[in-house]
A and B are shown apart, each in its own frame.
Chain A
Amino acid sequence: MKTLKATRLTLSLLGLAIAGAVAAQQPATDFPTERTKPASCDDFKWNVDMTREHPRVIDACQEAVTADGSTWARLAARFVRVQSDGQVVFSVRDKNDRVIEQVTMEPAPGQVAYIDDRATEFNRLSTTDNINLYVPEGEYGYATQPVAKARFARVLPVVAATAPSAESAPAAPPVRAVASEQPLPSRLPATASLLPWLAFTGVLLMFGGLTMRLRRKL
């Protein structure tokens, strides 16, 4: 009787272990099964509207990848910030890590960024985080993963200066101010004040007075 119980227990545990091992072997449904097949950026077909509004995006293409039967252009981007309205700003970079352009995007509901395949909410990114953005062939938008059911962030156009209507309450003050129109100076500013000269000259004069007194005494 005891042997039968022990056998049943052993078989149950063995079954559980096998089931667990099989389940662990199932591919994660969130990740593409084929995401690194090399293709060429030259062959990638860009969305016409995207290239018209962001012509330099073509220069930002790192590689074209085929995943889940569709082709994606992979772009390298660095997180800049999340704005108070939830829009995310990224700087898109070329192969030499030079900034191509800065894009503001409106993430789709539930969309997250991926750093080393780890899902990370946009507001948890830091300004040193580099992420991949994927542009599906022929479409206008960014995904953070090259998967068929990817959510697309809407690329926002550059906001032009428009005067609000009298009724509309102004939003937050200038958070997206642009750089000054003044040219950069030709030299870095000299930041030495006259104060050390004052002290230095004062000490020298007093030293001269001391010297004279010593000479007079000797």
Chain B
Amino acid sequence: MLLVMKIVETSLWVSGALLIALYCLALVWGESARQQGIAAFDEHKQQQATAARSSPLASIAAARLAHTLPASMTPALVPQSIGAHWSAPVTATDADVIAVLRIARIQLEVPVGANTTEPVLLRGAGLIAGTAAPGSVGNVSIAAHRDTFFRGLKDVVIGDLIELEMLDRSDSYRVAALSVVKPTDVYVLADTGEAALTLVTCYPFYFVGNAPQRFIVRAVANVVHPQPPRR
């Protein structure tokens, strides 16, 4: 009996320690993936700048490649067929980074993926399907895990500046409203006809499992910094 108890006790200690180690490893991996995502984005941006210098036609192609927007999000002004390379729609994969989101005051810097699947959310934030693409006039809506990258949203206050850096431009938003809604309140994602950014994460912030509510940060466009005209 004593032996059985000893075995059970040891296995409890070992499995508990393993799970906690796994948790720590996942946090370290997530941080590493975040940094890699940002580095890949910066590299893409440099490639695009190089392409822009070498050929204006290549620059739009590089921009499109770098944006890696799903075909359904292809902006209206981007021609569908500029040469043979661009006749097929470009689709985003889970590994693609389409933007980098920054909130300087809470020291948040996170890559934004093209969707909100789990592989994307483990590496950073993701663009919610059906919402406007970064850089567009609509309501760009981005979600991330509240227990990793978006935990800092609990410290966001109205008036904070949010920067959304894309490959060809950088948009600045100012936090206009904070709210807590139900998971079914998808109206927060609706387009209001003006440039806006909506950040979504679970609420309460310290909750194990699927939280019953959602925390919404609503920001409106502050200043748009278009890329200087290319020669």
Residue of B59, B79, B135, B200 touching A164 (CB-CB under 8 A) = B79
User: Do A180 and B130 touch across chains, with their CB atoms under 8 A apart?
Assistant: yes
Q: Shortest distance in angstroms between B218's beta carbon and chain A's nearest beta carbon? A: 13
In the complex, the answer to whether A202 meets B20 with C-beta atoms within 8 Å is yes
B99-145 residues with Cβ-Cβ distance < 8 A to A are 116, 118, 121-122, 126, 128-133, 135-139, 143-145
Cross-chain contact B145 with A182 (CB below 8 angstroms): no
- Best-surrounded residue of B57, B147, B210 (most CB of chain A within 10 A): B147
Tell me the complex Cα distance, A189–B193, Å.
Answer: 23
Chain A residues numbered 104-134 whose CB sits less than 8 Å from any CB in chain B: 126-128
- Contacts A89-B137, A196-B209 hold; do A184 and B16 have CB atoms under 8 A apart? no
Chain B, interface residues (CB within 8 Å), range: 35 or more
Chain A binding surface SS class: loop
Instruction: For A21, list chain B residues within 8 Å (CB).
Output: none
Cα–Cα distance between A83 and B223 once the two chains are bound (Å):
11
How many residues from A make CB contacts under 8 Å with B? 64
Contact of A216 with B5 in the complex, beta carbons under 8 Å: yes
- Per-residue CB contact flags for chain B residues 144-174 toward chain A (1 = under 8 Å, else 0) read 1111101000000000000000011100001
Give the distance to chain A from B22, nearest Cβ to Cβ, in Å: 6
Residues on A with C-beta less than 8 A from B139 are 179
The A-contacting residues of B in range 3-37, CB under 8 angstroms, are 5-6, 8-10, 12-13, 15-20, 22-23, 26-27
Contact bitstring A145-182, B, C-beta under 8 A = 1, else 0: 00000000000000111111000011111111111111
Q: Which of A25-33, A40-48, A61-69, A205-213 contacts B (4 or more CB under 8 A)?
A: A205-213
Contact B67 A178 (CB under 8 A): no
A-B contact pairs, 7 of them (CB 8 A): A161-B76, A164-B82, A170-B59, A177-B137, A179-B191, A184-B131, A198-B20
Please list the 4 inter-chain residue pairs (A to B) with the smallest Cβ-Cβ separation, ordered nearest first: A202-B19, A205-B16, A206-B16, A177-B75
